Amino acid sequence: MDCLYISLMMATLVIGLFLADDDLDTSRTEHAMEVVHALCLLPSWIRVLQLLQLSKYFGTLLMTICGMVKDALRFFIMVGIFCFAFSCALTPIVFVSASERESHGLLWAFWMIVGDSGGLDKAR
């Protein structure tokens, strides 16, 4: 199965070299080749991760990284809940009229934390 993925990836790369042109717009054929190549990359990376799990050192590292990703996702979920709660509480205070409230919605507090304050500055 691995040989099939690798040979299909290599075939799409070689065919893509012959079908590529200097046009900046991607043709349907070029897009199809990119999609096939990307779909073959996913199982290949999964296979590499499976092989790393067998290693004494990389397996431990992989398990640690998976735990870190879970912790980061939980943190961002908590930040999202926190921002949503504060935007529900602060929207009536910051935006007096109903049209301002409707135009900004409830996600403006999230964008203020992320750093896109342009929308709030334009409203003032």
10, 37, 54 — which closes off a domain? 54
Q: Please list, residue by residue across 37-46, b when 16 or more beta carbons sit within 10 angstroms of its beta carbon and e when fewer do.
A: beebeeeeee
Asked whether residue 26 carries a pLDDT value surpassing 90, the answer given is no
Task: Give residue 75's domain range.
Answer: 57-124
One domain, residues 93 and 109? yes
Please tell me which residue, 72 or 93, carries the higher pLDDT value. 72
One domain, residues 48 and 63? no
One domain, residues 61 and 84? yes
What's the structural domain count of the chain? Answer: 2
One domain, residues 42 and 90? no
The Cα 24–Cα 88 span in angstroms is 45
One domain, residues 109 and 69? yes
Asked whether residue 39 carries a pLDDT value surpassing 80, the answer given is yes
Percent of the chain with pLDDT over 70: 91
Q: How much is the pLDDT for 119?
A: 53
Q: Is 97 helix (H, G, I), strand (E, B) or coil?
A: coil
One domain, residues 2 and 30? yes
- Give me the chain's average pLDDT, please: 81
One domain, residues 94 and 66? yes
- 48 is written with which tokens? 């590499």
One domain, residues 72 and 120? yes
One domain, residues 50 and 66? no
One domain, residues 63 and 44? no
Q: How much is the pLDDT for 102?
A: 81
